[in-house]
Chains A and B, each alone.
Chain A
Amino acid sequence: MTALLARPAAAVPRLRRDRRRWAWGLAALAAVCWSATGALDGVNPAGAAQFGAFAAAALSPALDGAFLGVLATAALVTVAYAVLGTALAVLLGALGAVAAARSTWGRRRLGRLATRGVLAVPRGLHEAVWGLLLVNVLGLDPWVGVLAIGLPYGAVTATVFGALLDEVPRGPYEALRAAGAGRLAAALYGLLPRAAGGLLSYACYRLECAVRSAVVLGLVGAGGLGYQLSLSFGSLRWPQVWSAVYALALLCLAADVAGRAVRRRLAAPRRRAGVLSRDRVLTAAVLGTLVAGAWSWWFLALSPASLVSARAREQAGFVLRAAWPPSADGDLLRSVAAAAVVTVQTSVLAVVLAAVGAVLVAGVAARPAGRCSPLRRLAGVLVRLGLLLLRAVPAPVWALVLLFVLLPGVLPGAVALGVYTLGVLGRLAAEAVEEADAGPRAALTALGAHPAGGWLYGVAPLVAGPVLAYALYRWEVTVRDTLLVGLLGAGGLGALLASELAAFDWPAVATVLTATVVLTLAVDLVGDRARRALR
């Protein structure tokens, strides 16, 4: 996420070969080849009929009134989860930012490392896993959805908010401190105002992501659109599944468009006659969000009492007592290790597929800067809509339908996640293309270069860095997402978790979850190092 905010500025070109990058490049190549060996399963053309039934239903979604009514209520639940989940995340993030900021700790590296470790636990688990665990403690309660989004997002938000606070010039803060202000007052008046734009912009971005997460949560039974989707999916009613997917795509589109508009206005405040003036749209957005928060609270009928009710305490006690100590059984550890390998292979393949796909479509998906033909415009709109649908169909649905045409193994899961990630990465790559310096390409075109040549030599080198950085960032997200597609023949830690949860073997569940957190943390660290080598 930080990558979104800290877009690499137009770097000064260094014309020497970077040894570090070579090492990372070779290591990446080796990782991809190794992962590909796990996926030599091949395709199953005979299953085209079943896949066709899924694809054909896209043109005939279920549109009967009763079902649409159900979907509308479900969509409201999803929105309410997203809004309150984000609100909680921002609250937790604001509190945690102080602990996560580098400047709080100064040279005491141990403290910062400890904070980082603590924050890694909530964010190392997928929202859906949080949802599953919370359903076991709180039962059917709207808090499940709100907490499952708020806790992991809160940890990510704290990290990013901390980084944003670190980047603010410290002059005003030091001056206030020197003038005798307390730490809190100095931070509130010296640091906060300068960081406010970045913080708001990031909160907005989180809200967009939360809509998608709220849907995934439904898949584990927490209510909302994903819940309806999974009920229809369970009986393979493709027309209904598509109706839910379209509803989802609409929600994602609304969140994307609104979020982008607000973030763009925050990044470039309006000036009237050289003076900063209040932006009515932003005022309306902030007021609207506050009202939406209150409405969500009312709509979900959240009751803080149910968090500390006797039942919640009793169930939490039951689960914790059952899960402690985590199982250290040799057989289990061996299957955890094998599953972790499959998970890494799946995630590497998925990200490579998505990155290659994103580079291929980025040129068409980007909104052209100048005037262009209607045909080009139409192609752009179609590709962008396609990408939206790719990320609106949840990964588990992709996994099942791909299993019709791919033989079981690593491949169906990798392609399912790859297709889903392509939806996300394609959009980011297109944005990178839009923001790239148009100069080199214009110069090449003016010199008579073919459009394709102009793109290859004028645009591709500029966006390669950012796209690779996004891909590395998505790798960590994909590792967490593999937990979702593991439910089918796709294997990996997800399959293991599903079978331990089905048997209610809590000690084993605790072990698998620990392994997941450690794996996510490791991938995060490797990705972070690789991104640094790219800068």
Chain B
Amino acid sequence: MAGRRALRSGSPVVPLLPRRAFLAGLTLATLTTGAASACGRSSPVGREAAGPGSLSVGAIPDQDPEVLQRLYGTVADSLSAALDLDVAYTPVTDYGAAVSLFRTGDLDLVWFGGLTGVQARLQTPGATTIAQRDVDADFHSVFVVQSATGLAASDDLRPLAGLRFTYGAETSTSGRLMPAWFLQQAGVDPQGFPGGPAFSGSHDATLQLVASGSYQAGVLNEQVWAARTAEGAVDPSVVAYARTPGYPDYHWLLGPRAADLAGPLRDFFTGLRADDPADAAVLDLFGAGSFVPARASDYDRIEQIGRELGLVT
């Protein structure tokens, strides 16, 4: 039909679609879209809960995402039962994203490392430090070396200066900031390894890269090192070299949107008891004996070191 019409009008090009079908399709599409927008469907990528009485929980991806999913699934259920809130866990892909999403208000309550927590707090007016684990006031990192280097465990960090070296994530407190600081204190340029230091992105990747020999030395979170050693997951060619002195690390930070929950949340975390089976499950997943209240000033030292190393601006 349309073909004949087109021929009559002398056009050499047949329209791709009959006009009526096109218009009908367009109307249908518009109507469906309109109807869909009207029913207020929640997006598969946006935040799930946004109303009052809801809390979105996040964490820096310092561990296996599946472990995190399980860990924060448990925390979310427990929080939701205790405070009568809709609690949803949102995984993020990197440390910087956790900070950005805390600033934009997509994440209300985030388990930050020392440095990322400082970054997030400085960028987000009204953020409150809630609690830390009993182990966080005195946290440690472990320098590891490839056994082929022939280095024996020592407290002297200077021999590391000549090795190909990898940190963990760029803004990891235990995998970057504090090790870099202790290296600097020992007289080693923290940016000066042969070819420059690498950033593996995670504690597990650091272990793999040192095991492969592409990097001869690296540094990671002591908790992860202990856990992987206990699992027998560490390649025998990776050996511990030195343990850093203690420093404050992880903590819970609450965003301004949910500021009125600061008190209840602090009570919830510090009230977790190891002798209660449900609480013990949460504490166990965090590798903690208990949570203790934390203040912003606990992280002043981290902030100062961050400024000195150019990681806090």
Residues of A in contact with B (beta carbons under 8 Å apart): 41, 44, 46-47, 49-51, 73, 76-77, 135-142, 145, 193-194, 196, 200, 219-224, 227, 230-232, 234-237, 269, 275-279, 282-283, 286-287, 290-291, 293-295, 297-303, 311, 315, 318, 400, 403-409, 487-489, 491, 498-499, 501-505
Contact B44 A223 (CB under 8 A): yes
- A residues less than 8 Å from B123 (CB atoms): 318, 504
- A residues less than 8 Å from B25 (CB atoms): 287, 290-291
Contact B37 A301 (CB under 8 A): yes
A41, A194, A287, A502: which has the most chain B beta carbons within 10 Å?
A502
B100 within 8 Å of A (CB atoms): yes
Chain A residue nearest in CB terms to B202: A234
Q: Say which residue of A51, A73, A219, A503 sits within 8 Å of B44 (CB atoms).
A: A73
7 A-B contacts (beta carbon < 8 Å): A234-B201, A235-B63, A291-B25, A400-B205, A489-B199, A502-B95, A504-B99
Given contact pairs A138-B104, A139-B105, A50 touches B32 in the complex (Cβ within 8 A): no
Given contact pairs A46-B213, A301-B41, A503-B171, A231 touches B105 in the complex (Cβ within 8 A): no
- A residues less than 8 Å from B208 (CB atoms): 50, 236, 404
Contact B198 A488 (CB under 8 A): yes
> Would you list the 7 A-B pairs with minimal beta carbon distance, nearest first?
A47-B212, A139-B104, A298-B36, A223-B45, A489-B198, A502-B170, A294-B29
Contact A409 B195 (CB under 8 A): yes
- B residues less than 8 Å from A279 (CB atoms): 16
Number of interface residues of B (CB under 8 A): 74
Contact A140 B106 (CB under 8 A): yes
Contact B106 A488 (CB under 8 A): no
B66 within 8 Å of A (CB atoms): yes
B242 within 8 Å of A (CB atoms): no
Contact A408 B96 (CB under 8 A): no
Q: Say which residue of B33, B215, B311 sits within 8 Å of A408 (CB atoms).
A: B215
Report the Cα distance A302→B95, complex, angstroms.
Answer: 26
Contact A488 B214 (CB under 8 A): no
Given contact pairs A286-B17, A408-B164, A293 touches B65 in the complex (Cβ within 8 A): no
Chain A residue nearest in CB terms to B56: A140
Q: Say which residue of A76, A232, A488 sits within 8 Å of B200 (CB atoms).
A: A488
Contact B43 A234 (CB under 8 A): no
B30, B93, B171: which has the most chain A beta carbons within 10 Å?
B93
15 A-B pairs besides A76-B44, A140-B45, A276-B13 with CB distance below 8 A are A49-B212, A135-B100, A140-B46, A223-B45, A286-B16, A286-B17, A311-B104, A408-B164, A408-B214, A489-B214, A502-B96, A503-B171, A503-B310, A503-B313, A505-B313
Q: Render B187-225 as a binary contact track against A, CB cut-off 8 A, 1 for contact.
A: 000000001101111101100110111110000000000
B97 within 8 Å of A (CB atoms): yes
- B residues less than 8 Å from A232 (CB atoms): 65
Minimal beta-carbon separation of B293 from chain A (angstroms): 27
Contact A299 B93 (CB under 8 A): no
Report the Cα distance A220→B101, complex, angstroms.
Answer: 12
Report the Cα distance A311→B50, complex, angstroms.
Answer: 13
Given contact pairs A278-B2, A502-B311, A234 touches B65 in the complex (Cβ within 8 A): yes
Contact B45 A275 (CB under 8 A): no
Given contact pairs A277-B14, A290-B26, A407 touches B313 in the complex (Cβ within 8 A): no
- B residues less than 8 Å from A295 (CB atoms): 32
Contact B43 A301 (CB under 8 A): yes
Report the Cα distance A194→B13, complex, angstroms.
Answer: 8
Contact B93 A141 (CB under 8 A): no
Report the Cα distance A509→B212, complex, angstroms.
Answer: 33
- B residues less than 8 Å from A294 (CB atoms): 28-30, 32-33
Minimal beta-carbon separation of A159 from chain B (angstroms): 24
